Amino acid sequence: MRQQGHSVETIAAWALALLWLLPVAYSLWSAFHPSEYATRFDLTAPLTLDNFARAWNQAPFARYYLNTVTLVTMVLAGQLVVATLAAYAFARFRFFGRDVLFALVLVQLMIMPDVLIVENYRVISALSLLDTIPAIALPYIASAFGIFLLRQTFKSVPNELVEAARVEGASSFGVLWRVFVPLAKTTYIAFGLVSVSYHWNNFLWPLIVTNSVESRPLTVGLAVFGAPETGVDWSVITAATVMTMGPLLLAFLLFQRQFVQSFMRAGIR
Amino acid sequence: MVSAVMSAAEPRAVRRRAWLTNANAWLLLLPAVVLLATFTHYPILATLYHSFFSLSRGGASEFVGLENYTYMLEDDVFWQVLRNNIVFAIATVPTSIALALLMAVWVDKKMAGRSFLRLAFFTPTVLPMIAVANIWLFFYTPNYGLLDQFLKSLGFAGHNWLGDPSTVMSCLAAMVVWKEAGFFMIFYLAALQTIPPELKEAAEVEGASRWYFFRRVTLPLLMPTTLFISINALINSFKLVDQLVIMTKGGPNNASSLLLYYIYEVAFTFQDTAFAATLTVTLIAILAAVALTKFVYLDRRIHYQ
């Protein structure tokens, strides 16, 4: 009886899992088959890369890829530098105004740049940065979340290691670089994966501040390409969709464990 | 004599060191402070400030007191998007939490292919919302779309799922639940793994049924996780609007519009930044209230370990 209950549950779990994969599986089906097969599921249907070729030729996806890669690299590099310095100060220095300042940093955790679109647009416009990649990146470079995560990690570094480095004559910057940064490797990986996923996928803010092929990331490029008024064939749109989500999906399939653990670490905080 | 000299020199050295520490710390914090002030603190204050002024189309904007707020309270669309947002939260938050828990319980068991199950449930988390919206848009397309084709094969009539005010919200909610449940699953999974196996063994010895154990032991132990997820899901329901840009543009007739999307429309389509600022103040107030609830009700230490 017990055994039977178990197998019913296994079947239910598998059914739900297959249902969960259905949208992704469907997008792959439609992208890799001629458009006649978009809704006809025939296992003998010929495979083709034609939809990808057409999407690639109809819109500047190469440029969009370049923009997105530039964007996520810029955001991540900036975030790592800014958050490392700030977290070091919060974790290891006793200075005037520390607690007030930390509370002010945490404000960004509840009111994220994503909801301040109206005023941030004005700020970016005042800096005459509209329609550039730095305009998309700047509001996210100081990440309260990154500062918070790294501060936690830095706080757990044993004092003896810091003293030992000091005895050897390291400056406070040397201590940060040689002791703290190497010990926080897993935090850096967790934060990095979450940040790259977030900014690869981010849409509304880039949509607002970009207006040209030279600055548009993939997500915005996809939205422009797939808009109904363009009359592009459905199979070609799914091919573009697969191109947009492909790199991240592939990275996830290869490094599944790291992704799940990073999202968990980052979410729990 | 020697000690007197020492004590006179000491405070000066101490003060000098304290000053250096302060200078050092503030220098390290400088980039973060400048960026946060420019893109978080200043915009919050500016939003509040602009909500008290009239729109300056070319001319100067004037102080209008609470006029923008009265206008907001009389705006039917504002109330509709607020209602929509609440409906959206009620439709997505409990459902994704229940599904996340079910998924976590399954993946936590020694079930055949559990790593495949985890993969399947988590995959939607890493996909861009805009790509997801594209795929689901096709599911819901009238007649030609997958859902209608499936229903037609069963003999039902086609339906304009996203064009009908009575079905559009459920369709969008289903998609968001699909996107989020797997993300919440991983927090339950982590929590389930901290429940000591002895508890289960003891319950089995006592002859407790699995359901009884789940209801009386597992569920209460997962309570902090449930609260934590609920709050995150609630915040997300006010933050996630990407899908609307592609799927419905808030329509038909604002039936699927949400507060942040309305702000986006008012600011960038209707160019009414003063009213958009007023709406943003409301959104900030909601998010701050949720964050304070989190602060008061969630004992942080529970999650930090």
Domain extents in chain B: 76-304
Which of A215 and B197 is assigned the larger pLDDT?
A215
Q: Which residues of A touch B116 (CB under 8 A)?
A: 17
> In the A/B pair of chains, how many CB contacts fall below 8 A?
242
**Residue closest to A66 by CA, chosen among A124, A129, A133, A128:** A133
CATH topology of domain A59-268: MetI-like fold (1.10.3720)
For chain A, the domains span 2-48, 59-268
> CB B136 to CB A119 under 8 A?
no
Supply the pLDDT for residue B301.
Answer: 45
Residue A251 has pLDDT above 80, yes or no: yes
Q: How confident is the model at residue B2 (pLDDT cuts 50, 70, 90)?
A: very low
> CB B113 to CB A207 under 8 A?
no
Mean pLDDT of B15-27: 85
Identity of the residue in A17, A123, A264 whose CB atom sits nearest the CB atom of B187: A264
Q: B19-23, B86-90, B176-180: which has the minimum mean pLDDT?
A: B19-23
Q: Smallest CA–CA separation between A103 and chain B, in Å?
A: 12
Q: How confident is the model at residue B1 (pLDDT cuts 50, 70, 90)?
A: very low
Supply the pLDDT for residue B141.
Answer: 83
> CB B43 to CB A116 under 8 A?
yes
Q: Smallest CA–CA separation between A45 and chain B, in Å?
A: 18
Q: How confident is the model at residue A221 (pLDDT cuts 50, 70, 90)?
A: very high
Residue B56 has pLDDT above 80, yes or no: no
Supply the pLDDT for residue B264.
Answer: 95
Q: Which residues of B touch A123 (CB under 8 A)?
A: 38-39, 42-43
CA distance B161 to B140: 6
- Amino acid making up residue B87: V
Q: Which residues of A touch B129 (CB under 8 A)?
A: 201, 203
Mean pLDDT of A136-152: 93
Q: Which residues of A touch B120 (CB under 8 A)?
A: 17-18, 20-21
Percentage above 70 pLDDT, chain B: 93
Round the average pLDDT of chain B to a whole number and report it: 86
Q: How confident is the model at residue A206 (pLDDT cuts 50, 70, 90)?
A: very high
Report the complex ipTM: 0.89
Q: Which residues of B touch A120 (CB under 8 A)?
A: 39, 43
Q: How confident is the model at residue A1 (pLDDT cuts 50, 70, 90)?
A: very low
- CB under 8 A, 24+ apart: contacts of A7-14: A9/B106, A9/B109, A9/B111, A10/B111, A10/B112, A13/B106, A13/B111, A13/B117, A14/B113, A14/B117
Q: In Å, how far are A9, A219, B239 from B242, measured between CA atoms?
A: 35, 10, 9
Supply the pLDDT for residue B302.
Answer: 46
Which of A197 and A43 is assigned the larger pLDDT?
A197
Residue range B76-304 in CATH 3.10.20.30: no
CA distance B180 to B122: 9
Q: How confident is the model at residue A4 (pLDDT cuts 50, 70, 90)?
A: low
Q: Give me the phi and psi of B277, to 5 degrees please.
A: -65, -40
> CB B128 to CB A201 under 8 A?
yes
- A 19-38 residues with CB below 8 A of B? 20-21, 23-24, 26-27, 30
CA distance B200 to B220: 14
Integer distance in angstroms from the first to the last C-alpha of chain A? 42
Q: Which residues of A touch B28 (CB under 8 A)?
A: 85-86, 88-89, 93
Mean pLDDT of B143-167: 81
CA distance B89 to B235: 9
Q: How confident is the model at residue B304 (pLDDT cuts 50, 70, 90)?
A: very low
- A 59-78 residues with CB below 8 A of B? none
pLDDT digits (tens, 9 = 90+) for A56-94: 888 899 999 999 999 999 999 999 999 999 999 999 888
pTM: 0.89
